[in-house]
Amino acid sequence: MKFAVVVFPGSNCDRDMYHAVKDVLQAEAELVWYEGSNLEQYDGILIPGGFSYGDYLRSGAVAATSNVMKQIKEHAAKGKPVLGVCNGFQILTEAGLLPGALMRNEKLSFMCHQEELIVENEHTPFTASFNRGEVVRFPIAHGEGNYFCDEETLKDLKANNQIVFTYQNNPNGSVENIAGIINKQGNVLGMMPHPERAVEKLLGSDDGLRLFQSIVQNWRDTYATNA
């Protein structure tokens, strides 16, 4: 399996994502500059955190209009995995690949610390190595991680089992403690906490490694089935 880590101007977690996949997971991965990129050769797309375009207008709003997003939408439409973390989650919502929006943290301050998350849906390509109800530890690092959606959207998220992670102790005011959601097709995950910063025990947790292992295993299972 070959991953593309899409780099926008202002991305600053791209090397973390690359290290997690290339060095720790030992999968194929390349840093791909958003401009003039060709994503056809990649099996999985990773959109890292940071401050794409300086967070002008709204976080992720400018990146969501870039030409590479057309390729990412085509990639997602084919059922291939797309993971957006932190600013990547913001980009996915701004691009319409995921519902809802990310607003300023409830206390209007930047937060950077470990958080405990509850696995709400283990039946996804990203969480097959977890158990439902399991508590895992991922760090957060965001100022605009307060997930919001209207009541109708929330009803749909619950009905379709699209809420993948929730916070044990909601740090930012997100509706229903939501930390990560998936699209209806089940192959696009957006989350504010950073699994790529939780792949080695030296960092305080290696729970995030299982998320990337789940992606690879799902791809192998799918490939073997279709072969």
Contact 190, 98 (CB under 8 A): yes
Catalytic residue selected from 86, 94, 115, 120:
86
User: Is 194 a catalytic site residue?
Assistant: yes
The one catalytic residue in 75, 142, 144, 194 is: 194
Domain that holds residue 60: 2-226
Of 94, 115, 120, 196, which is the active-site residue? Answer: 196
**What pTM was computed for the model?**
0.95
Question: Going residue by residue through the chain (227 aa), what tens digit of pLDDT does each one get?
Answer: 999 999 999 999 999 999 999 999 999 999 999 998 899 999 999 999 999 998 888 899 999 999 999 999 999 999 999 999 999 999 999 999 999 999 999 988 999 999 999 999 999 999 999 999 999 999 999 999 999 999 999 999 999 999 999 999 999 999 999 999 999 999 999 999 999 999 999 989 999 999 999 999 999 998 765 54
CATH number of the domain that residue 214 is part of: 3.40.50.880
Q: 187: burial class by Cβ within 10 Å (0-12, 13-18, 19+)?
A: buried
Domain count, the chain: 1
Provide the pairing of β-strand 28-33 with 146-148. unpaired
Is 13 one of the annotated active-site residues of the chain? no
